[in-house]
Chain A
Amino acid sequence: MSTVATSQIKLTPERSRPSVRSRLQDALPKIVLAPSFAITIVFVYGFILWTIYLSFTNSKTFPSYVITGSRAYQRLWGWTFDTDPPSSWYTSITNMGIFGFLYILICLALGLFLAILLDQKIRGEGVLRPIYLYPMALSFIVTGVAWKWFLDPGLGLEQTLHQWGWTSFHFDWIKNKDFVIYTVVIAGVWQASGFIMAMFLAGLRGIDGEIMKAAQIDGATTFQLYRRIVIPLLRPIFLSAFIVLAHLAIKSYDLVVALTSGGPGGSAWLPSNFMYEYTFKRNEMAVGSASAVIMLMTIVAIIVPYLYSELREKPR
C-alpha cells in the first residue's frame, strides 16, 4: 500500500507537495504525543519539583514560597529515632519495612506456588484462574472494608467460630497495636497474589517444553526441575513482579484507611498516611512535602537500578 502511494507521489510533477506531506508524516507522532508529554511534564515532574521546593519552606495551611531551610527534614530526622514511645514517622517507616518486605515476599512465593499448581494441566483451569485473579479487580477500599469486617473479632471470623462452638479461638490482630500491620499484609496479599500468579503462569507457559523433557530424560526430579531450570528461567518475571509489587506497597494508603482507619493509636500508618495527615489535616505542608520527597527517593532507589539493568541488557 505504502509503496503504491510513494510511487504515485513521485509521478506528480510538483515537488513541494510530497515534502509537506512527508514532513507531516514525520511530525505526526510528535504532534499526537505532545499533549500527553506536556501534561506529564507539568503534572508529574513539575509538581515533583514544586513539592521539593515546598519542603524547604515553612508552608503551613497554604504554600509559602520563602525558602527557610531544611527544618522539615530535621524534624523528620529527629522523629526517625523517637522509638519509645514511637513517633508517628517512626511507626510509618518501620511499618513500611514490615509491610513492604512481607507483602512482596509472600505475594511472590504464593503467586509462584499457585502458578506452578495451575500449570499441572489440571481440569477446570479456565474456571480457577479468574477466581484467583478476581481480587485484583476490586479497589483497595472494597478489599479494606471487607477484610475489616471479616477480621473484626466481634463481627467476623472470631465471632462465627465462637458461634460454631470453638470458643477458645482468638484472633484480634486488627485491634492489636503490635499486630495490626500484619492484617494489612494479609489483605494486601489476598488482593495482589492472584495477579502475580497470572504473571508467573504466563512465564511458565513461555518455557520451552523441550528443555523440560531433556531434563526429565537426564533423570531430574520434579523439585530439581523447578529449582534448577524453571525458576532461573523465570527471572525476568520475578523482576517485573517485584517492580509492580514494590510500587503498590509504597503507594498503599487507601488499604490502611479502609481496613484500620489508622490502627489503634496510629499504629498502622504508612508513610503515605503520614504525608496526607500532615499536609491536609495538620496544616504542616512543609513536613508533609518533606515526607513525600523521602517516599519519592525510596521509589527512585528501587526503580533506577531496575531501569539501569534493563537498558544495559538491551544492546546485547
Chain B
Amino acid sequence: MLRKLLIGTALATSFAFSAHAADVKEVQMLHWWTSGGEAAALNVLKGDLAKEGYAWKDVPVAGGGGDAAMTALKAMVAAGNYPTASQMLGYTVLDYAAAGVMGDLTETAKKEGWDKSVPAALQKFSVYEGKWVAAPVNVHSVNWLWINKAVMDKIGGTEPKTFDDFIALLDKAKAAGVIPLALGGQNWQEATMFDSVVLSTGGPEFYKKAFNDLDDASLKSDTMKKSFDNLAKLVTYVDPNFSGRDWNLATAMVIKGDALVQVMGDWAKGEFHAAKKTPGTDFLCYRFPGTDGSVIYNSDMFGMFNVPDDRKAAQVALATATLSKSFQSAFNVVKGSVPARTDVPDTDFDACGKKGIADLKKANDGGTLFGSLAQGYGAPPAVANAYKDVVSKFVHGQIKTSDEAVTELVKAIDDAK
C-alpha cells in the first residue's frame, strides 16, 4: 500500500516535471505594499516584466509593518513552497540565507555590475557569504526633519544647524502657540527619532560603534547618557496627547500647520505629496541638525528564493528589472525613497529627493552610511526590539533618568544578543 502510494507520487511528480520542462514565465511575489501609493509604485515593476513576457502572480499580505507577510512567508517556506521573491527587511534576509533557502544571483550581479553601484552598507544584507541573495529596491533614510514652511515663516525660523539651534527653534514655535514637535508615541517612532539624536550627539563614529557594532563601552558611555538627556529635552516639546498616535497622523499635524516639525523617515514625504504639497514652497526637508553628511538608512529588499530550475529565468528577469536604472528612478519617485544604486540620474526627483540622492552618494563615499537600529538595520530583531523597549519606556516615564536608561539599554541588548 505504502509502496504503491510512493510509486504513484513519484510518477505524478515526474509527470509534473516533464510538463514544466520549459521555463515558467511567471514570477510569484510576496509583499505588503497594498496601500495606494505603494501599489502604484509596484505596478511599474509589473509593467516592466510584462514587456519581457513574464506574468506577475501577486501574493499580497496586508499589514503595514509586514508582520503578517513575514508569518505567511515562514509558512510558505516551511512547506517548501518558495515564492520567486519576497519583500524583506534587513536581518530577515540573512536569517533565511542562513537557513539555506535563498537563491544565488551572483552571476547576474556580476553581469549587471551591482557590486559597484549598490552601496556597500546595503550589500551587507543583500550578499550572504559572497552570494547575492536579494535585490535592494530602495533606500529610505530616517534622519530628516519635515517642517511646515508657513509656520516656519510665521515664527521667523531658519534651518537649525546644531542641536541647540533646534531647541531654540522649538522654543520659538512654543512661544508662538504652535505644537513645536509632532511625534507619534509608538515605540518605533520614538526609537527612530532617537537614532538621529544619537548620531547628532555622538557623531558618526559613535553611532556606528554603539548601534551597528553594539560596543559595550559606547553603549555605557556618557555620550549615550547625553543622548538620552537630549531626547528628554525633545520630548518636552511634544503635545500631551502624543502617546499611541500613528506616524501619518503626526505628519498630518505638520501638513495642517498645527505643528512645526516632525522627525521621521522619508516615507513621510509620501503624505505631503498625497496632500498636494510641494517641497520648498509648502514644506521643508532638512537633515536632523548635526547629522548633515551622514545617512541613517533602511531599505526594502526583494529576497530571492532557491526556486526550482525552471523558475530561475523568471527570477533573474525580476532581479534585473528591479535593479534597472529606469525602474529604480520611476519606483522611488513614487515611493518617496531614493534609488538603491548610486548611479541613477536624479532628473525626475523633487528637491528633497535630489538632496537625498546626493546625501546617499556622499555618505557612501565617506563611509558615513549607517543602518538604522530602530528600523532593524543596525542589529538583529531581538536586539532592535529590546532597544525600542528601552527608548519607549524612557519617553513614557517607566525609566526615569538617563543613568537608568543607559544601564537598562546595556542590560537589554546583552540579554537579547
In the complex, what's the smallest C-beta–C-beta distance from A153 to chain B, in angstroms? 5
Q: Mark A86-110, 1 if CB is under 8 A from B, else 0.
A: 1010000000000000000000000
Instruction: Decide yes or no whether B35 CB sits under 8 A from chain A.
Output: no
Instruction: Decide yes or no whether A172 CB sits under 8 A from chain B.
Output: yes
Q: Mark B377-393, 1 if CB is under 8 A from A, else 0.
A: 00011100110010011
Which of B187, B380, B397, B404 contacts A266, CB < 8 Å? B187
A-B contact pairs, 30 of them (CB 8 A): A60-B95, A61-B74, A61-B92, A62-B74, A62-B78, A75-B415, A85-B399, A85-B408, A86-B398, A172-B241, A174-B244, A175-B185, A175-B242, A177-B398, A260-B244, A262-B186, A263-B243, A264-B185, A264-B244, A265-B397, A265-B398, A266-B187, A266-B393, A267-B398, A277-B385, A280-B67, A280-B70, A280-B71, A282-B385, A283-B380
In the complex, what residues of A have CB within 8 A of residue B70's CB? 280
| Known contacts A61-B95, A85-B404, A152-B241: A264-B396 contact under CB 8 Å | yes
Q: What's the Cα separation between A152 and B186 when bound, in Å?
A: 15
In the complex, what residues of A have CB within 8 A of residue B95's CB? 60-62, 283
In the complex, what residues of A have CB within 8 A of residue B244's CB? 174-175, 260-261, 263-264
Q: Mark B139-174, 1 if CB is under 8 A from A, else 0.
A: 000000000000000000000000000000000000
In the complex, what residues of B have CB within 8 A of residue A177's CB? 396-398
Q: Mark A59-100, 1 if CB is under 8 A from B, else 0.
A: 011100000000000010000000001101000000000000
Q: Mark A257-288, 1 if CB is under 8 A from B, else 0.
A: 00011111111000000000100111110000
In the complex, what residues of A have CB within 8 A of residue B380's CB? 283
Taking CB atoms and an 8 Å cut-off, the chain B residues in 33-73 that contact chain A are 67, 70-71
Q: Which A-chain residue is minimally distant from B390 (CB atoms)?
A: A85
Q: Mark B399-411, 1 if CB is under 8 A from A, else 0.
A: 1100010001000
- What total of chain A residues lie within 8 Å of the partner, measured CB to CB? 28
* B393 and A85 contact, CB distance less than 8 A: yes
Instruction: Decide yes or no whether A154 CB sits under 8 A from chain B.
Output: yes
Q: Which A-chain residue is minimally distant from B184 (CB atoms)?
A: A261
Q: What's the Cα separation between A156 and B243 when bound, in Å?
A: 15
Q: Which A-chain residue is minimally distant from B397 (CB atoms)?
A: A177
In the complex, what's the smallest C-beta–C-beta distance from A144 to chain B, in angstroms? 12
In the complex, what residues of B have CB within 8 A of residue A283's CB? 95, 380-382
Q: Which A-chain residue is minimally distant from B68 (CB atoms)?
A: A280
Taking CB atoms and an 8 Å cut-off, the chain B residues in 219-274 that contact chain A are 240-244
In the complex, what residues of A have CB within 8 A of residue B78's CB? 62
Q: What's the Cα separation between A86 and B385 when bound, in Å?
A: 16
Which of B187, B242, B415 contacts A265, CB < 8 Å? B187
Instruction: Decide yes or no whether B99 CB sits under 8 A from chain A.
Output: yes
